[in-house]
Structure 1
């Protein structure tokens, strides 16, 4: 209606569907520079993505370069607070990205919280690298190199009022202390290293974390764990609320972690993301694992079938 009255509208969004639907012309910025302009008949998803990240969509998801390693984390008969009647068996290998799919309420986040020691385990066993593991809390998980990048990064992943350097050092203050005092210089050095490693776009590492974009905040959450030599990292909805360019960087970082031997568990409700990023996909239904898919079995239909508790190959049930 504003356009019909002759008013010029500048619409800023990283939601590509909104851009395709609403705009007569699109100007794309990348790293502070104008990289392209599309007229109405030129606007489509693939062109927008290529301009935003500098390469076609098909290369956003990097293929694995390392062979799957030994089992880093094993759950046997695991029962969580949300679904104490359902037992979960799951193997997570070093060097792989295991996608965890399922409908809302299927128990994915609850499983992640149990594996990180936040929620109690009501039954079953855990092993890390073949050694029995008991988690009395998140501190125990951290001590054993198991880390969580949570779904709510602003609420539980970072402290918005602290600086980038302070957030990165917070889980392991002893490593930055001289006697009983935290060394600001040690904090700064680690933060600068993380800034370079993860390409965190920030004026200085003293910048307040709450002022960063969603993608850069997510990198700060990851940076604090990378500084502690992870063995297992659990990502819960790692790219929710961030633009396609930042998504591409997060995917690259996850793949680099897996290629270095880290075991990566990725929970995602984005079907394209799960299929594009994962080496295997475990699907949850009502608190249990309803099936495991290898790469040659990946399809939206197979994931959805397992998500509603149907076996792969029963596509007629989706009608």
Structure 2
């Protein structure tokens, strides 16, 4: 699988993946040498491994790297009396190498993906709670449907606007921290004896002596003023990208609880269908988050389901209570 991933990479990433594959080859040779003539025919890979290999060959995405990270972390070599200590150590190091490679993919998709996942999840949970809460009061199906559609539009617009403002504000804050590109043009007018340029480097974290030496080199023309020394920030994505993806994914999530009512279901049938459809969607979003974070997809999926159904159940019970008082 590492070789398959390397086939879709270039440069340093390809070299890293091939180096890990070579190390795994040494582990393979260890078992071949140990078994000798009793090694038998190579076993067929499990369905999970074959699926992962197919994904590596055809996608080569961060999802595959996240799965590989988990596979390395589950290595049984530490408890295997026939495995060497070096092999066990290799597997732990491999997990960290893969984690580092996966970080690049996670960062590049973090902004828009975060808005998409949270948008879909918020749409699922909030509109399910709204539909079930309104329906529990005893109002007619058309009223429940109207409330669900209104919640979809209001929530999607709110999420889109909120993400736009959030990402735009973050980018503006980071931009304000970047050095001014016009600053080098003022260097010839500086008082060489006062050397206030050293204050710039002290503000960036250098000691007084280091800052003074650095500034002297800049003023002497031995090096250029580094106007691009600003801290590398996590990729946020564009404000419009985050807003549009948040709007779209909130809408795609919020429409699911409404589907049974759109298709003509009523009463408890609509409630059960709505909760079931949202439950499946919550399991999917939770598992995707688990994969990308390198955590257990099942645990993340069940956590999403418990939170979503818990919020909807609480609202449904409140709706029943409110409906009783109204009647």
Q: Which protein is richer in strand relative to its size?
A: 1
Q: State the structure with bigger RCO (CA 8 A, min sep 6), 1 or 2.
A: 2
Is the TM value for this pair above 0.5? no
Q: TM-score, normalised by structure 2?
A: 0.21
Look at both structures and tell me which one has the larger radius of gyration over its CA atoms.
2
